[in-house]
Amino acid sequence: MRKVVSMLLMGALVLGTLTGCAGKEKAAENEVKTLDVVWFSDAKEGESFMKLANQYMEEHPNIKIELIEVPYSDLDNKLKNMLNGKEAPALARMTNLGPFQNQLLDLGEYVSDKEAFIDSFGEGLRFVYDGKVIAAPMDVGANGLIYNKTAFDKAGVSVPQSEDEIWTWDEWKDAMKTVMEKGDCKYGLVYDYTPQRFTTLLYQAGGSLLNEDLTASNFNTDASRRALSFFKELHDEEIIPSSVWLGSENPNNLFRSGQVAMHIGGTWLISNYKDEITDFEWGVTYLPKEVTRSTVPGGKWLAAFQNTGVEKEAAEFIEWISKAEQNAQYCLDNSFLSQVKGNENLDYEYGKEFFNIFSQELAATGSQPGAEWGYQAFTGAVQTELKEGIVDVLADKITVDEFVEKMDSRINEALKELE
């Protein structure tokens, strides 16, 4: 009898243990995990993001997503302070992956299919480094060519209507000169005062800052000399006003005033000019080419951090929000281009035809511009000297050849410093 009672007690104990383990496992499954997201907004991006986050939380009741909003100017410092305090956020919207590369989660270890995830994005922003998927592009911008349609019509000059009609540099220059003469424009072109914008010409000339594997300078070339000489030529002939690169005038204001035939700027100008230009019609046409077609991509990523305890949940959310349907909703809400395949021709409320041209520019651009400007530790180290050197060339303080050789050495020095 005692043996029977003992066996019954042991059975009850084992059953209780198993039930307890199952209960703990179930409780763990039902535990709510919080994903803190460090986020900055230029306009309503935070609102758009939270629409999608709320949808995700409805579908995943064990996930809670909380936004930590910071001004863009404080973003990097905020992240560094959180990391130094061992309080890394689960996720962050970022423009500069370089300083945080070693702290970012390799999403490839968590997404359902690493290669399929990588392949779901087109060329543009770089997000795979040394085989690690350290972020996902949320949106992508591009440099493009905006023109004063009223002035072009008055001058009787037609802009390219398709990719088959794209101007060469010389044809582009002639078109601008004609519009200056017959379209009542003081200048042919304004060009944003950034080295990133200048490199649009560099890539079109067949050049680059670095070699293909980003290990050495590729600046001391005829392509670099051609791009710099052409840029100086446009300034010397007053097709481009010197008041931007050799002064402090705002190129947006110049174009909005109707004094300028064309503006090389970014996709964000579409929504800007929609509201602010009322005195003339404007449009978007294709960038010209020299050796090849090229724009320069820019944009923002969503990344997850290591050692947060919610790595799996963070990666799963990034995979979900990067799907074409969710990404399209976000990009349409904010008038952004998408790098997700299938979202190349979104149905924007305004300027669909303009965005489509920018999208075609991205599709025609090789991987080098995105790889170089995605290597932000490098570009951050050299872009001030690149910009200042171009200014010196324009001001005749240094020759094109002298600057090319000087910049070539500086690029190699910067690469050594980053080893």
168 phi/psi in degrees, rounded to 5: -80, 170
Q: Specify whether the CB–CB gap between 134 and 106 falls below 8 A.
A: yes
What was the pLDDT predicted at 377?
Answer: 86
What was the pLDDT predicted at 409?
Answer: 98
The DSSP code for 99 is G
Q: H helices within 31-113, ranges in order?
A: 45-59, 75-84
Token pair 């064990």: residue: 62
Residue count (the chain)? 419
Residue type, 180: M
What was the pLDDT predicted at 17?
Answer: 53
Task: Please tell me the class of the 33-140+298-350 domain.
Answer: alpha beta
Domain residue ranges of the chain, discontinuous segments joined by +: 33-140+298-350, 143-297+366-418
Straight-line distance from the first to the last Cα atom of the chain, in angstroms, rounded to the nearest whole number: 78
What was the pLDDT predicted at 29?
Answer: 58
The yes or no reply on domain 143-297+366-418 and CATH 3.40.1120.10 is no
Q: How far apart are CA 206 and CA 114, in angstroms?
A: 33
What was the pLDDT predicted at 43?
Answer: 86
What was the pLDDT predicted at 9?
Answer: 45
What was the pLDDT predicted at 21?
Answer: 53
Q: Are strands 91-94 and 33-39 parallel, antiparallel or unpaired?
A: parallel
Q: Specify whether the CB–CB gap between 287 and 295 falls below 8 A.
A: yes
In the numeric block, which tokens belong to residue 14?
């084992």
* Bridge partners, 65 (sequence order): 35
Q: How far apart are CA 110 and CA 116, in angstroms?
A: 13
Q: Specify whether the CB–CB gap between 172 and 200 falls below 8 A.
A: no
Q: Is the dihedral of CA 330, 333, 334, 336 positive or negative?
A: positive
Q: Specify whether the CB–CB gap between 179 and 379 falls below 8 A.
A: no
SS3 assignment for 174-238 = HHHHHHHHHCCCCEEEEECCCHHHHHHHHHHCCCCCECCCCCCECCCCHHHHHHHHHHHHHHHCC
Q: Specify whether the CB–CB gap between 198 and 295 falls below 8 A.
A: no
Q: What is the pLDDT of residues 208-232, one digit of tens each?
A: 999 999 999 999 999 999 999 999 9
CA-nearest of 337, 304, 310, 340 to 322 is 340
> 33-140+298-350 and 143-297+366-418 share one CATH topology?
yes
Q: What is the pLDDT of residues 298-321, one digit of tens each?
A: 999 999 999 999 999 999 999 999
In order along its 419 residues, the chain shows pLDDT tens digits of 444 445 444 454 444 554 555 554 454 557 899 999 999 998 899 999 999 999 999 999 999 999 999 999 999 999 999 999 999 999 999 998 988 989 999 999 999 999 999 999 998 898 998 899 999 999 999 999 999 999 999 999 999 999 999 999 999 999 999 999 999 999 999 999 999 999 999 999 999 999 999 999 999 999 999 999 999 999 999 999 999 999 999 999 999 999 999 999 999 899 889 989 999 999 999 999 999 999 999 999 999 999 999 999 999 999 999 999 999 999 999 999 999 999 999 999 999 999 999 999 999 999 999 999 988 889 999 999 999 999 999 999 999 999 999 999 999 999 999 98
Count Cβ atoms within 10 A of the Cβ of residue 400 and give its class: 0-12 exposed, 13-18 middle, 19 or more buried. Answer: middle
Q: How far apart are CA 224 and CA 49, in angstroms?
A: 41
Token pair 């100008």: residue: 269
